Chains A and B, each alone.
Chain A
Amino acid sequence: MNWEPLFLTLKLAGVTTLLLLVLSIPLASWLSSTKSRLKPVVETLVSMPLVLPPTVLGFYFLVAFSPNNAFGSWLDEWFGLQLIFSFSGLVLASIIYSLPFMVHPIQAGLSAISPSLKEAAYVMGKSKFTTLVQVLLPTIKPSLLTGIVLAFAHTVGEFGVVLMIGGNIPGKTKVASIAIYDEVEALNYAGANFYSTVLFVVTFSILLTVYLINGGYLKRFWK
């Protein structure tokens, strides 16, 4: 059996989740505390991937990043970046596609904290950054875990965006979900079944772990 598509899927999901975490914490923290008029617009943009068919996203990526267009050729000339049919392109598209799954739990967690908690830290002379890192984030650990896992699992389950801008290059952009489609088209049901079973088991275990941790079922083993 060819394990490459599965490893590629995990690599893509891992890299995407890590970058999303770094990006989403400041974004969610801004959204949870801002009174800016831009907030509803930004919130809408963040949530768009929830309702938009992945193919729409993929299509615009394809158009924007194509080396035949201004933006795509500019990226290529200045940064040597070719985002179409490449792994880095997949990562970028996945970040946008899974953004709401990371931002929403963190934003909800931060909004649920009583504002007096951060105000208490401010009057102690602590900066906003120190307060976020030492007080707020540790307080919303369950939300962070939910965000990380949902973003990871959602990236694992991605198909439309990858198909549109990644294509089907083995070792580069051929992730497990694409491989399944490929095998079915070739009428190789055993191969499709192999990838599908692995994906099923992996995602099931990940989600189960989250519910066990956030539900407190595992605490009795630690104490």
Chain B
Amino acid sequence: MITLCVQKKLDGPNGDMLLDLDIQIQEGQFVTLYGPSGAGKTSTLRILSGLLQAEKGKIEVNGTTWFDSATKIHQQPQQRNIGYVFQDYALFPNMTVEENLLFALPKEARKNEITTLLEMMELVALKERKPQTLSGGQKQRVALARALVQKPTLLLLDEPLSALDMKIRLKLQEYLLKVHKVYKLTTILISHDIGEIYKLSDQVFVLENGKVAKSGTPTQVFLNDKISGKFKFKGEVLNIEKDEVVYLVTVLIQNEMVKVIAQESEIRQLNIGDSVIVASKAFNPVIYKIDA
């Protein structure tokens, strides 16, 4: 059980912001922090790992106090046994893949742990390579393997998949699931991808302006009252053209362009670049599986 109850003043993108959290996480859970940039997600991970010190509050992990402003306890990052995967991977450029893992190995631990991890993450063929020669997805696997070497009590993942393309991303999500199943680590992930969050996490905390705006299972957080047979998508107007008696409005939804028919009365208030919602009722959507 992890109790994180802290306050810390941060320089947010819109001036000072108070990070004010009171979060409880059960042991072995996969938790995601979701929210706009500058909401305090990375700072939360840094406070948990001890790289950043909170001004007030208490952090307790499985009965051990990591931080307590009242009794002036602040365990150094070195004492907390945390696996941390950084956004830029932070692989040591002077060491090979295997040496990166060996460096993370605590003195008393045995080396065959490294072999197991290299095999599990399918890195055996790459173990002699330097990080600079690896692709983004490979670096990510090394960073994840390295974070697991010390058998951490807590695994922190700071947007580890955001820089990768969809196919590698899906593959790495499988690795994350595998790791979570095998090691049963309490894991905290920062992610912007709702699909990813659904797939991986037991619990989601939505952070806004340094505070938890919503929390619960992914279904509770992202679907709550919006559940209905209605299709509703946010998009941006790219073009409006006249076609005989009707108008054709081209809307960009995510990465897809959609043409929508509109009446003259509807387009009167529309301009190119406007944010719109495209909604549809009373029809039967069909689901096709996409082969990745």
Q: Do A and B bind each other?
A: yes
Which residues A122-137 have CB closer than 8 A to chain B?
Answer: 122-127, 134-135
Q: How far is the CB of B107 from chain A (nearest CB, A)?
A: 9
CA of A120 to CA of B104 in the docked complex: distance in angstroms?
9
CA of A206 to CA of B51 in the docked complex: distance in angstroms?
42
Q: How far is the CB of B99 from chain A (nearest CB, A)?
A: 10
Whether the pair B90, A117 counts as a contact (CB closer than 8 A) is yes
Whether the pair B90, A125 counts as a contact (CB closer than 8 A) is no
Q: How far is the CB of B53 from chain A (nearest CB, A)?
A: 13
Tell whether B106 is near chain A: CB-to-CB under 8 Å: yes
Question: How many residues belonging to B are interface residues under a CB distance threshold of 8 Å?
Answer: 24
Tell whether B88 is near chain A: CB-to-CB under 8 Å: yes
Which residues A90-117 have CB closer than 8 A to chain B?
Answer: 114, 116-117
Question: How many residues belonging to A are interface residues under a CB distance threshold of 8 Å?
Answer: 17
Of B58-66, B73-81, B172-180, B276-284, the segment with at least 4 beta carbons within 8 Å of chain A is: B73-81
Tell whether B198 is near chain A: CB-to-CB under 8 Å: no
The closest CB in chain B to the CB of A113 belongs to: B93
Whether the pair A126, B90 counts as a contact (CB closer than 8 A) is no
Whether the pair A116, B106 counts as a contact (CB closer than 8 A) is no
Tell whether B82 is near chain A: CB-to-CB under 8 Å: yes
Whether the pair B78, A119 counts as a contact (CB closer than 8 A) is no
Tell whether B191 is near chain A: CB-to-CB under 8 Å: no
Which of A121, A122, A141 counts the most chain B CB atoms within 10 A?
Answer: A122
List of A residues within 8 angstroms of B50 by Cβ? 123
Whether the pair B88, A123 counts as a contact (CB closer than 8 A) is no
Tell whether A53 is near chain B: CB-to-CB under 8 Å: no
Whether the pair A119, B106 counts as a contact (CB closer than 8 A) is no
Tell whether A209 is near chain B: CB-to-CB under 8 Å: no
25 pairs, CB–CB < 8 Å, chain A vs chain B: A116-B87, A117-B90, A119-B51, A119-B84, A119-B86, A119-B90, A120-B84, A120-B92, A121-B92, A122-B51, A122-B76, A123-B80, A123-B82, A124-B149, A124-B150, A125-B79, A125-B81, A125-B150, A126-B78, A126-B103, A127-B78, A134-B103, A139-B92, A139-B93, A141-B94
6 extra A-B contacts, CB within 8 A, seeds A120-B92, A123-B78 = A116-B87, A120-B86, A122-B77, A123-B84, A125-B150, A139-B94
Seen from chain B, the residues whose Cβ lies within 8 Å of a Cβ on chain A are 49-51, 76-84, 86-88, 90, 92-94, 103-104, 106, 149-150
